[in-house]
Chains A and B, each alone.
Chain A
Amino acid sequence: MTAEINVVPAGGNLKVKLAKAWQSVGPLVVFLTMFALVAILTPTFLGNGGVTIVASSAASVLLVALGQSLVLNIGSIDLSNASITILGAILLAMTLNSVGAIAPLFILIVVSIFGAINGLIIAFTQVPSFALTLGTFGIFQSAALVVSGATTVYVKENGDAIKALYQSGIGGIPMTFALGVIAALVAWWFLRFTRPGLAMTAIGKNESGAIFSGIKTRWLKVLAFTMSGFLSGLAGLTIIAQAGSASPMGLGSDLLLPGIAAAIVGGTSISGGVTNPLNVVFGALSVALVPIASAAVGVPSQAQSLVYGLVIIVTVALTLSRSSNSIVK
């Protein structure tokens, strides 16, 4: 019963155009506004590398959020990505110590396989991704505990190249964040300019329609989850770059909800079929900015959760992609 307005004049009216324009710049505007607000309230923030801090903090959120966006785009959700990040980081720290320079490559392959396993089970047993990845989340978390021996794994050797990702940058933007931006560009290009990318969006918009268009929906689902695993692994890489160590409950273990929030603040639809990885960059920056901003501006520490919750709701309300007759769940 989609409203059949078959009489839309070519190009749509002004309201539709404005809505479309806002959809493409909303996340950017929201981030810039918040950032400007912080800069005005705390002028020293800009002069002392505020940008660097926000960017470095946003790096891992961004990578996880990009993976999540790709999965949300096909209408699924990946609750296991943060546990893949931390497991990947732990494995990386361990293998850097033992096998050395080839470790990152090896780990990225392994985490991609983890993602692929999620995808394979979802695609071929047709279970809801929410429940399945909740289950694998537990398994990856256990794996992180077991392989690390429930303690912090510290990178002793061969870590300099990776640490340089965090410590060096272009114009104050750490390489870890630049890595995220590059990933976003690639993802954006992939979704807009390749057949598998377009087909993935088709799945998110109407899976039945995609099936009847001859699209290999199952394998594309596997691909989306594999990419999510890969990007989660990259996030793990940035954790090691930043901390030089990893532990099962430490940095990177709580990226799940910030990642989803970043994807949605970046205009990704939680019901599938709508995402713009470039905007997810600003979503991640916004989500990373909130706690930093509340500390910088000097919100009383006890009220910070409250502020965080409200800001998330408001920013999503502002950047949401919604059409008048769509159903929100």
Chain B
Amino acid sequence: MASTANAKSMNRAATGQPTSVVASFIKRNVEVISISASIFVLAIIFSILNPRFASVENLENILNQAGLPLIIAVGATFVILIGSIDLSVEGVMSAAGMTFVLMTANSRGGTDYGFWAYVVAIGLAAALGFFSGVLFTKVKVPSFIVTLGMWYVGLGVATVLFGTDTMPFLTNDDLSTWASQQNLGMPNNFLLGLIVAILGALFLRFTSFGRVTLAVGNNEEIARGNGLKVNRNKVTVFVIAGAISGIAGIVATIQLGAVNPTIAAGNLFIALPAVVIGGTSLAGGKGSMLGTVLGVILLTTLTNGLTLADVSPNFKTAVSGGILILAIVITAWSQRDRLRISK
């Protein structure tokens, strides 16, 4: 689906002029550099519009708000790297969050299963991811539809678990304020997001799983011809994405201190654009966790900045949309070619 890198254009690249070290560094990291620059420019604009933007409190706030989307975006990056998409995030988060709360000390009573609450919640999420992966690889239903269906399934699970009782609150105050507590100068949930992202990056770089993921995303048929276990890799990707959604569901629950089936609403449409802005190609095979982290920070900075800059709520989605368009157009501009394919 990507820009067809046909033999001709490759030849051209090969016979191109030798470039300086700096130029080649810039070329290789054009996305990371341009997003970083965008964040910087936005930060300056917002600081001028409202000096409080640059205050320590607000920067902490931005990181705190970036935590949850960051976790989700890491899972989404894996899925997008194999050229697929995971729309089930919000449903899986709800199901996991609900499971988690009901197995922890909560306002509805019930038993506190402690550590097992985490295990079961993440396990459930991973299981939903597993089903997506199997339906996707074995029944060959496009990931878009499988995960769309799984979104509703997750919501359904959460709704059934919720039942007709009142909203369950976490009764352990240490837990419900954990997300915004600071460690190493960063809010816990951002730190967790960062850890997930670093683990994700390490997985991508240093494990066969990660490299096979890139290979499958680059060209699935070649991967099969090379004897790589393509289906197993894809299922694993969905299981990991599911488990990460599960973690995100727990974090969302802890942040709010309570849970309802719509706890995750709106998260998908922050995470997906962030991944795309971060330079991960929707066609698969190309992308980085660093880009994803920066993409999340860019979008979080943007929504925060718009609030601080007194932009009318009615215009907010337009401004975000406009900036998303600007970002992708600028990125794509230098790659324009009359033979390039983009879908």
Stretch at the interface among B96-104, B139-147, B184-192, B202-210: B139-147
Q: Are A310 and B145 in contact (CB under 8 A)?
A: no
Q: Are B343 and A135 in contact (CB under 8 A)?
A: no
Does B284 lie at the interface of the complex (its beta carbon under 8 Å from any beta carbon of A)? yes
Q: Which residue of B lies closest to A123 (CB)?
A: B342
Contact partner, B272, options A127, A134, A146, A306, Cβ 8 Å: A134
Q: Are B144 and A317 in contact (CB under 8 A)?
A: no
Does A31 lie at the interface of the complex (its beta carbon under 8 Å from any beta carbon of B)? no
Does B153 lie at the interface of the complex (its beta carbon under 8 Å from any beta carbon of A)? yes
Interface core residue of A122, A126, A260, A261 (most chain B CB under 10 Å): A126
Bound Cα distance from A271 to B83, whole angstroms: 11
Does B172 lie at the interface of the complex (its beta carbon under 8 Å from any beta carbon of A)? no
> In chain A, residues 133-156, which have Cβ atoms closer than 8 Å to a Cβ of chain B?
134-139, 141-143, 145-146, 150
> In chain A, residues 117-133, which have Cβ atoms closer than 8 Å to a Cβ of chain B?
121-122, 125-132
Bound Cα distance from A209 to B245, whole angstroms: 40
Does A192 lie at the interface of the complex (its beta carbon under 8 Å from any beta carbon of B)? no
Stretch at the interface among B33-41, B57-65, B246-254, B315-323: B315-323
- Which residues of B are found within 8 Å of A127, using beta-carbon distances? 325, 328-329, 331-332, 342
Q: Are B142 and A264 in contact (CB under 8 A)?
A: yes
Contact with B along A285-325 (1 / 0, CB 8 A): 00000000000000000111111111011001100101000
- Which residues of B are found within 8 Å of A307, using beta-carbon distances? 156
B30 to chain A, nearest CB (A): 15
Q: Are A128 and B276 in contact (CB under 8 A)?
A: yes
- Which residues of A are found within 8 Å of B154, using beta-carbon distances? 309
A7 to chain B, nearest CB (A): 20
Q: Are A75 and B1 in contact (CB under 8 A)?
A: yes
Stretch at the interface among B107-115, B175-183, B220-228, B235-243: B220-228
Q: Are A313 and B321 in contact (CB under 8 A)?
A: no
Q: Are B141 and A125 in contact (CB under 8 A)?
A: no
Bound Cα distance from A75 to B341, whole angstroms: 10
Q: Are A135 and B321 in contact (CB under 8 A)?
A: yes
Q: Are B142 and A306 in contact (CB under 8 A)?
A: no
- Which residues of B are found within 8 Å of A176, using beta-carbon distances? none
Does A14 lie at the interface of the complex (its beta carbon under 8 Å from any beta carbon of B)? no
- Which residues of B are found within 8 Å of A33, using beta-carbon distances? none
B316 to chain A, nearest CB (A): 7
Q: Are A128 and B282 in contact (CB under 8 A)?
A: yes
How many residue pairs link A and B with beta carbons under 8 A? The number is 183
Q: Which residue of A lies closest to B272 (CB)?
A: A134
Contact partner, A260, options B82, B136, B144, B222, Cβ 8 Å: B144
A322/B140 contact (C-beta < 8 A), A142-B315, A272-B343 known: yes
- Which residues of B are found within 8 Å of A264, using beta-carbon distances? 142, 144-145
Stretch at the interface among B68-76, B118-126, B157-165, B193-201: B157-165
Does A102 lie at the interface of the complex (its beta carbon under 8 Å from any beta carbon of B)? no
A135/B152 contact (C-beta < 8 A), A313-B141, A322-B140 known: no
Interface core residue of B148, B155, B221 (most chain A CB under 10 Å): B148
Bound Cα distance from A193 to B161, whole angstroms: 52
Does B324 lie at the interface of the complex (its beta carbon under 8 Å from any beta carbon of A)? yes
A209 to chain B, nearest CB (A): 10
Bound Cα distance from A121 to B142, whole angstroms: 27
- Which residues of A are found within 8 Å of B153, using beta-carbon distances? 305-306, 309-310
Number of A residues with CB within 8 Å of any CB on chain B: 53
- Which residues of A are found within 8 Å of B277, using beta-carbon distances? 131
Q: Which residue of A lies closest to B341 (CB)?
A: A207
A327/B220 contact (C-beta < 8 A), A126-B336, A302-B163, A316-B141 known: yes
Does A19 lie at the interface of the complex (its beta carbon under 8 Å from any beta carbon of B)? no
Q: Are A131 and B156 in contact (CB under 8 A)?
A: no
Contact partner, B314, options A1, A145, A260, A261, Cβ 8 Å: A145
Q: Are A305 and B155 in contact (CB under 8 A)?
A: yes
Q: Are A130 and B276 in contact (CB under 8 A)?
A: yes
Bound Cα distance from A257 to B332, whole angstroms: 27
> In chain B, residues 263-292, which have Cβ atoms closer than 8 Å to a Cβ of chain A?
269, 272-273, 276-277, 281-284
Q: Which residue of A lies closest to B323 (CB)?
A: A135
- Which residues of B are found within 8 Å of A142, using beta-carbon distances? 314-319, 321
Does A270 lie at the interface of the complex (its beta carbon under 8 Å from any beta carbon of B)? yes
A132/B343 contact (C-beta < 8 A), A125-B333, A126-B332 known: no
Does A328 lie at the interface of the complex (its beta carbon under 8 Å from any beta carbon of B)? yes
Bound Cα distance from A308 to B153, whole angstroms: 8
- Which residues of A are found within 8 Å of B148, using beta-carbon distances? 257, 260-261, 309, 312
- Which residues of B are found within 8 Å of A260, using beta-carbon distances? 144, 148
Does B54 lie at the interface of the complex (its beta carbon under 8 Å from any beta carbon of A)? no
Can you report 29 A-B residue pairs in the complex whose CB atoms are below 8 A from each other? A1-B225, A75-B343, A121-B329, A131-B273, A131-B324, A134-B272, A135-B323, A135-B325, A138-B321, A138-B322, A139-B317, A139-B321, A139-B325, A146-B314, A146-B315, A211-B339, A264-B142, A264-B144, A270-B145, A272-B343, A305-B155, A307-B156, A308-B156, A312-B152, A313-B135, A313-B150, A316-B146, A320-B142, A328-B142
Known A126-B336, A271-B1, A320-B140; further 18 A-B contacts with Cβ < 8 A:
A1-B225, A126-B342, A127-B342, A131-B324, A131-B328, A134-B276, A135-B325, A139-B318, A141-B321, A142-B314, A302-B156, A306-B155, A310-B153, A313-B135, A313-B146, A316-B142, A316-B149, A317-B135
Residues on B lying within 8 angstroms of A by beta carbon are: 1, 4, 6, 82-84, 91, 135-136, 139-146, 148-157, 159-160, 162-164, 220-222, 225, 269, 272-273, 276-277, 281-284, 314-325, 328-329, 331-333, 335-343
